[in-house]
Amino acid sequence: MRSTQVAALLAFALAALLPMLPGVPAYWLTLGSLIGLSAMVALGIVVLTGVAGVVSFGQAMFVGFGAYTTAILTTRYGWPPLATLPVAVLLTGLLAWGIGAITLRLKGHYLPVATIAWNISFFYLTGGLDAFGRFDGISGIPPITIAGLSFAGGASFYLLTLAILALMVVATANLLDSRAGRAIRALRGGVLAAESFGIDTGRARILAFVYAAVLAAISGWLYAHFQRAINPTPFSVTVSIDYLLMAVAGGVGQIGGALVGAGLVTLVRDKLQDVLPALLGTAGNFESIVFGFALILILQFAPEGLWPHLRRWVGRRPEAPAGSPVAAAPSPPPAGAPAGAPAPLLSVVHLRKTFGGLVAVDDLTFRVGAGEIVGLIGPNGAGKSTSFNLITGMLPANGGSIGFRGEELRGWPARRIAPLGLARTFQHVKLVDGMSVLDNVAIGAHLHGRAGPVAGALRLDRAEEARLFARARAALARVGLPGAGDTVAGELPLGQQRLVEIARALALEPALLLLDEPAAGLRHAEKQALAGLLRAVRASGVGVLLVEHDMDFVMELTDRLVVMNFGAELAQGRPAEIQANPAVVEAYLGSAA
Amino acid sequence: MDLSIFVILFQDGVVSAAIYALLALAMVLVFTVTRVIFVPIGEFVSFGALSLAALELGRAPGTVWLLLLFGLASGIVTLWSERRVLTARIWLRTLAETVVLPVAVAALVLLLAPHRPSQWLQVLLALAVTVPLGLFLYGAVYRPLAQASVLVLLIVSVALHIALVGLGLIFFGAEGSRTAPLSQVSLTLGDLSLSGQALAVLVVTAVLIAGLYLFFGRTLIGKALQATAVNRLGAQLVGISPLFSGRFAFGLAALIGTAGGILISPLTTIYYDTGFIIGLKGFVAAIIGGLVSYPVAAGAALLVGIIESFASFFASELKEVIVFMIIVPILFVRSRRSLVLEDEE
């Protein structure tokens, strides 16, 4: 058991002891319950905003979905409270999925804006329709009873809230440390990198959105049975902002941040509600002024929130990146092209790409066979990286064809190409910065697993995870970084980050490996090691296409070269032939005249 | 519904649409130049209207204190962020702008308010006391975050809106106000009767839009702002200061928002928090225009205004819901169209 788990367990045990202490005021338990309910919503925001990078100003609306669902079902249709929970969760999940499907594929700011509009609409809808009791709301909601046990009392409800919160914390930690969770975390490293390893980034964002909404709905379900009466006010946009403030103040990147933030904001609000109206002489929600400016100041001065600072005070290093403690299994032999297949792996024919009037790639034709290293070289701006992006489906080609293992790839998105066994690295490294090296490499193995979010949250995916991490560890060992697995990816020197990218690509177990300037930033000895690695990759039957500017490296390593200039092919041939080709020499050095 | 009701609803819709169009234009302006989604523009609508209402009653508006407060905050942040290059000139300029100017405006307002100056002077005073807030908000809140992502800037905008609404409640109280119409003229064309105020709204909107069009098309500053909107780094490289562009955009947006509030307050009662909903409707229009297109945003504002007007007749309780739900199909269409993947900055 890791120290964080011990600390969390201890914190929850202490919190659970609170009602047992003699002389604890009932109001403390009420506050504690409110903190717990808010922490559930803030926990969802950690996954949604802190991990997936999606901002929502509508979480209070999802709390409202849960609260109104149970309020209507219990008061009008006589349902027992427990029976409404699955309905509330399903209904909210479905609505969140629908909302997410409409907006989440758009660029960043549409979703937050849409959530403001939706939350306001929800406010007026519940306030304006008889079905929702208008602005008077719905009262007479029964307390929760489970197996004859009533949770109407302050202490019993507090303990129930705490127990559910603890379950949510465990489920969230599990989810983030699973295949589905890595897909969500991969969003931070850029959509393109994630998609090129077969991750459906749209679905990963929707998953985070639905998960956060469901946590909010459960909080709302509890809230309705706690207050026994609801009205639209606690589900307004202003309250949504409060939830966001909790997560941001505590530290939106960490689970602990949500808990600390919820506690802090709830307690401060409680004090301010007493102090401010007395100070100003009028009644009103003046704490919103303090909270608004507090949020601005936090974002200006400490965007990472309180949690990292708290951990530093306690004297512990930032959370060690999670990796499964499973012994490295021997690497399975890489799946290269079928033995003895004579057809080329990749065959690019008359490929063409234009940006407006600019022809970036003009009538490019070449092939890469299994067990062959082909270099794609040319001066800057010759169209090499564009060609990579066309082959890997990141840009649509205007003409020509891209044949790969018998399929025509032109028009395919990156996500569909990756499962065929095509992996790549990027000219500008695209790793997930805050994630461990091993987790980054495991993203490459994404397509070799199938466990979903539910299996991840319930820890039913351990056998598969062990396999994925064994693959990741083996790939990391192959690039010569067996000890770097626990390091945070962004802390490695740039050259080693390139190697991690190669390891991630190898973890896909590709038939064709596309490397965009793999040797840039490496020292001489590291380049030698890289060349050795690529030779071993070639020997295992994998085709390699590489763009590289280090000519010694290219000439020594490659079997054939394709030289590009101004988007078009200038020459093809063996390295020695290319070196002797006058057109190539002229393109690189200028004409002798 | 007979024709006369239709005409009245349509006319109401067009008048509100003019205000939404103004706000939508201001938001597009601020977003393209600074990447800030300027949610607090609604507070300028409220504050402008309520300041004028206070002046009509012979009282100094609460905005005076906000002006002093934010001026000071902006001054402190400016001096802090330029602490390494502080010269006497920067000191003086900052002092003049963030202390002397607000104090002068405040003194003027406090002196003149009890004498109930003419309506035009009241309007000018309301503008003078509200518009500089835009500059100060930029200086105190957004300037230190110039490098932040769109999402962080959006969270800050929403937080600022929440804080300003709270301050509005303190300084203006919970009661709503309605100001005297700017014009008493009334035009009658057969069945159609147009109030002077409605006419004033349409004329001022038309003049402002034409002015913006000329400003961006014909003046160097306008072109500089446009350049910043198109390519921030490029504009910086050719010597256009992003600080200047940002301040200008916020100042202009504050002017437009305040003018919108002054125009609409004779037509509807304005409370300390009314501006947000008005601003949000302008925002719906801006969103339909993708936050970049001025003409589409203006056209969308017309749509929003007319839909709202008819919705308030047929289903007054769900009016807001209907208006905000307009963006659902719009976003849906947009999401179908823009499936190309790209990494965000």
User: Alpha-carbon distance A427 to B260, whole Å?
Assistant: 50
Which residues of chain B from 63 to 122 reach within 8 Å of chain A, CB to CB?
none
B244-267 pLDDT, tens digit per residue, is 889 999 999 999 999 999 999 998
Q: A245 to chain B: which residues are within 8 Å by CB?
A: 159
Instruction: Output the CA torsion sign for A224, A228, A231, A237.
Output: negative
Look at residues B250, B329, B196 and name the one whose alpha carbon lies nearest to residue B43: B250
- Compare all CA atoms of chain B with the CA of A123 and give the residue at the minimum distance: B321
Element (H, E) at B26: helix B3-34
Which residues on A lie below 8 Å from B162 (Cβ)? 238, 241, 288-289, 291-292
Q: Per the CB < 8 Å rule, is A120 touching B155?
A: no
Mutate which of A296, A389, A394, A428 to test chain B, going by most B C-beta atoms within 10 A?
A296
User: A407-408 and A399-404: which strand pairing?
Assistant: antiparallel
What would the two tokens of residue A47 be? 């996954």
Chain A residues near residue B280 by CB distance under 8 angstroms: 116-117, 120
Select from A266, A34, A25 the least CA-distant residue to A165: A34
Which residue from A57, A129, A286 is facing B158, i.e. has the nearest CB? A57
Q: What is the Cα–Cα distance from A587 to A590, expressed in whole angstroms?
A: 6
Average per-residue pLDDT for chain B? 87
Residue B337 has pLDDT above 70, yes or no: no
User: ipTM for the complex?
Assistant: 0.88
Between chains, do B321 and A192 touch, taking CB under 8 Å as contact? Answer: no
As a whole number of angstroms, the distance between CA A395 and CA A379 comes to 21
- The kind and range of the H/E element at A422 are strand A422-424
Nearest one of A539, A580, A532 to A556, comparing CA atoms = A532
**Is residue A342 packed enough to be buried (19+ CB in 10 Å), middle (13-18) or exposed (0-12)?**
exposed
Which of B141, B317, B327 has its CB closest to that of A296? B141
- Taking CB atoms and an 8 Å limit, are A106 and B335 in contact across chains? yes
Residue B341: pLDDT over 60: no
Give the torsion sign (CA, A206, A212, A214, A216): negative
| Contact assignment for B338 to A413 by CB distance below 8 Å | no
Q: How far is the C-alpha of A541 from the C-alpha of A209, rounded, in Å?
A: 42
CA distance B59 to B61: 6
Judge: B174–A291 Cβ closer than 8 Å, yes or no.
no
pLDDT in tens, A419-468: 999 999 998 889 998 899 999 999 999 999 999 999 999 999 999 999 99
Answer whether A102 sits within 8 Å of B332, measured CB to CB: yes
Taking the Cβ of residue B345 and every Cβ of chain A, the question of whether any pair is shorter than 8 Å is answered with no
DSSP β-bridge partners for residue A544: A373, A513
Q: List residues bridging with A582 in a β-sheet.
A: none
Asked if B22 and B282 touch (Cβ cutoff 8 Å), the reply is yes
Q: Which of 528-557 (A) contact B at CB < 8 A?
A: none
What is the model's pLDDT at position B336? 67
> pTM score, two decimals?
0.87
Cα–Cα distances (Å) from A179 to A441, A469, A489, B284, in that order, read 12, 10, 18, 38
Q: Which residues of B touch A105 (CB under 8 A)?
A: 335, 338-339
Q: What is the pLDDT of residues B87-109, one digit of tens each?
A: 888 899 999 999 999 999 999 99
Taking 50 as the threshold, does the pLDDT of residue A341 lie above it? no
* Beta-carbon separation of B166 and A414 below 8 A: no
B17 touches chain A (CB under 8 A): no
In chain A, what is the greatest distance between 2 CA atoms, to the nearest angstrom?
A: 97
> What per-residue confidence (pLDDT) applies to A343?
65
How many C-beta atoms lie closer than 10 Å to residue A493's C-beta?
12
What is the pLDDT confidence band of residue A337, given thresholds at 50, 70 and 90? very low
Alpha-helix runs per DSSP H in A177-200: 179-186, 191-195
Q: Do residues B261 and B49 lie in contact, with contact meaning Cβ atoms separated by under 8 Å?
A: yes
CB A7 within 8 A of CB A255: no
A355 to chain B, closest Cα gap in Å: 15
**Nearest CA to CA, how far is A97 from chain B (Å)?**
14
* Cβ pair B284:A286 closer than 8 A: no
- Would you call B150 an interface residue with chain A, using a CB distance cutoff of 8 Å? yes
Find the helix packing angle between B63-81 and B101-112, rounded to 10°.
170
Percentage, residues of chain B above pLDDT 90: 39
The answer to whether A284 contacts B174, with C-beta atoms less than 8 Å apart, is yes
A354 touches chain B (CB under 8 A): no
User: Distance between CA atoms of A34 and A45, rounded to whole angstroms?
Assistant: 17
Residue A342 has pLDDT above 60, yes or no: no
* Residue A508 and residue A332 in contact, taking contact as beta carbons nearer than 8 Å: no
Task: Compute the half-sphere exposure of residue B123: CA atoms within 13 Å on the CB side of its CA.
Answer: 17
pLDDT of residue A315: 55
pLDDT category, A295, cuts 50, 70, 90?
A: confident
> How many whole angstroms separate alpha carbon A487 and alpha carbon A321?
8
- Measured CA to CA, the distance from residue B279 to residue A120 in angstroms comes to 13
Instruction: State the Cα–Cα distance between residues A444 and A465, nearest whole angstrom.
Output: 13
CB of B292 within 8 Å of a chain A CB? The answer is no
Confidence of residue A592 (pLDDT cuts 50, 70, 90): low
Nearest CA in chain A to B315: A128
Distance CA A540, CA A264 (A): 57
What's the gap in Å between the CA of B138 and the closest CA on chain A?
13
Judge whether A279 is closer than 8 Å to chain B, CB to CB. no
Q: Is B36 on the interface with A (CB under 8 A)?
A: no
Average pLDDT over residues B189-193: 69
Query: For the domain with range B3-55+119-178+188-336, which CATH number is right: 1.10.3470, 1.10.3210, 1.10.287, 2.10.260?
Result: 1.10.3470
CA distance A556 to A543: 17
What is the 3-class SS of A553-572, one letter each residue? HHHHHCCEEEEEECCEEEEE
Is the separation of the CB atoms in B261 and B141 below 8 Å? no
Q: How many residues does chain B have?
A: 345
The secondary structure of residue A436, as a DSSP letter, is B
CB spacing of A105 vs B331 below 8 angstroms? no
Q: Is there a contact between A108 and B332 if contact means CB atoms under 8 Å apart? A: no
Q: What is the per-residue pLDDT across A479-505, written as a single tens digit (0 to 9) for each?
A: 988 888 899 998 998 888 999 999 999
- Residue range B30-72, pLDDT digits in tens: 988 888 889 999 999 999 999 999 999 999 898 999 999 999 9
Residue B283 touches partner A, C-beta closer than 8 Å: yes
**Token pair recorded at residue A248:** 């941001």
Helix (H) or strand (E) holding A373: strand A373-377
Check A124 against B169: CB less than 8 A apart. Answer: no
Kindly tell me if the per-residue pLDDT of A518 is higher than 50. Answer: yes
Following CA atoms B143, B145, B149, B151 in sequence, which dihedral angle do they give, to the nearest 10 degrees? -90
* Greater pLDDT, B220 or A514: A514
Tell me how close the Cα of A526 comes to any Cα of chain B, in angstroms.
30
CA A430 – CA B240 distance, rounded (Å) = 32
Q: Residues 45..64 of A with a Cβ closer than 8 Å to B: which?
A: 53, 55, 57
Q: Does A129 touch chain B (CB under 8 A)?
A: yes
Report the C-alpha gap between B335 and B330 in whole angstroms.
9
Which residue in A has a C-alpha nearest to residue B281's C-alpha?
A: A117
- Sort out which chain B residues have CB atoms less than 8 A from A121's CB and list them: 320-321, 324-325
Residues 6 or more apart whose Cβ sits within 8 Å of residue A314: none
Question: CA A236 to CA B298: how far, in whole Å?
Answer: 29
* The amino acid at A357: G
Beta carbons of B338 and A53 less than 8 Å apart: no
pLDDT for the residue numbered A318:
43
| B158 in contact with A, Cβ within 8 Å | yes
Q: For chain A, state the CA radius of gyration.
A: 28
Stretch B155-182: mean pLDDT, rounded?
89
Q: How many residues does chain A have?
A: 593
- Contact (CB, 8 A) for B285 and B13: no
Bridge partners, residue A509, by sequence: none
CATH of A32-314, one of 3.30.1490, 1.10.10, 1.10.3470, 2.60.40: 1.10.3470
| A248 lies within 8 A of chain B by CB | yes
Q: Which CATH class is domain A343-421+510-593?
A: alpha beta
CA atoms within 13 A on the CB side of B255: 14
Q: What local confidence, expressed as pLDDT, does residue B70 receive?
A: 94
Tell me the domain boundaries of chain A.
32-314, 343-421+510-593, 430-509
Q: Tell me the domain boundaries of chain B.
A: 3-55+119-178+188-336
B255 vs A: CB within 8 A: no
State whether A117 and B327 contact (CB < 8 Å): yes
